Structure 1
Amino acid sequence: MIKTLIIDDEPLAAGIVQEFLAGYPQFQLLEVCYDGFQGLKAIQKHEPDLIFLDVQMPKITGFEMLELLDEPPAVVFTTAFDEYALKAFDANAIDYLLKPFSQTRFNQALDKFLQQHGASNREPSAEMHDLAEKSNRLVVRVKNEIKVIPVSDVIFFEAQDDYILIHTASGKFLKKMRMKSLEEALDSGHFVRVHRSYILNLNEITQIEPYERDNYLVHLKNGEKVPVSKTGYSRLRQVLGL
């Protein structure tokens, strides 16, 4: 049996997926969830092979929920918004169903999954882990809780192996994500990558001083100092209009 979950905050839409799925006896529907937190718990509990996932949901979005999973299952996105399609396929989603969709279109999505499921046992794409929706917040796991961090609260980001250390006034938080993906997701008018290991919030800078050859130090409002490479300094000057 193929273990399956439906995660959608619209009961009618979830019901339609459930009705369409009933024609496939090889799929075992384990649970229907109506928000991202409930979906996250269900995935951890059941370890499904496939989930049908809405994007825009209360509390956390579908993309933010996936960021919190170390090994996300295969995903078929179900949403009323077509602007997320490119992001979904960049994350190697099985398919992207635009509401309202027909039984025929639903069947095509399941056929794609069955073809891939039978053809290979490849691991989920690393891009799914790194996916950062362009928004004003980040979600991180703190022990057994989920914390939502407004991007405006971030002082700077620091690369640590496969993780990003998020520095805020209220503490430091680890998020599994690549620096490049984070850089692309942030507003370049407010955040600048000044070093291969650092991205700064421009509003937190108080001073820039020379440090060794072709390198600089940035002083931040919280008293910390962050190194700036030659390339990073050029970016910084351009953004600050220096």
Structure 2
Amino acid sequence: MTPDGAESGAGDKSLIYQGRKASRAKSEHRRRLILEAALRIVIREGVRGIRHRAVAKEADVPLAATTYYFKDIQELIVDTFTLYTEKALNVVNRFTERFYQPLQQLVGGNLAELQAGNLSDEALNTMLDYLVAQLTLYVREQVGEERDMLIAEQAFRYEAIVNERIRELALMHRRALFGKIEEFMQMMSSATPREDAELLLGLFHSVEYSALLLGAENTDFDHVSTTLKRQFSLLLPALLYK
């Protein structure tokens, strides 16, 4: 996937649900139950498992409730992936908050020195160790605690290719994630932050997919760490390996 003008991470549209809007808190709660149930079905059976009757049974609501809020299956599928996108963006934002504050503390007031490549080898190695440890932890959490979300993401990617309405959601999610990585590469003084962000994002997708196939218990996270360290050595040789 080659970056283009839409990959800047800026200008994302707000998430908009397509189905009937709930007018009361109780109705909104039921609508949410239906969407959460549909997302569980996607994780368990794939998108083709979404049927009004199956979703109603999973959500423990009357069949009429699903047809009231969603006029057809396509609308239900789109709103299910809107819910997924909402959850996925929250994961990205939580990780960013947890990741950047300690990184800025490591850099301290020496951002200019970092960007000029004037920090000591010891400071650079400390920073590199932190980056690798945090990103490895992120992968571990994704394939462990967030495994269901990763499975939904795989279904999401395929559906985005064949469904134009879901494609917009996929692009929104990707812009947000890509933008965070590009911002990080800029802070690390990458000469080509967008291209490097593309490579790093591709690596994460590959590692996560491999871990889904193997299972978290069979994934070699030491190998993940060394792979990440190798990637940084290729992307940022002037900064991290003086």
**TM, length-normalised to structure 1:** 0.23
Choose between structure 1 and 2 for higher RCO, CA contacts under 8 A separated by at least 6 residues: 2
> Which structure's residues are more often helix, by fraction?
2
**TM, length-normalised to structure 2:** 0.23
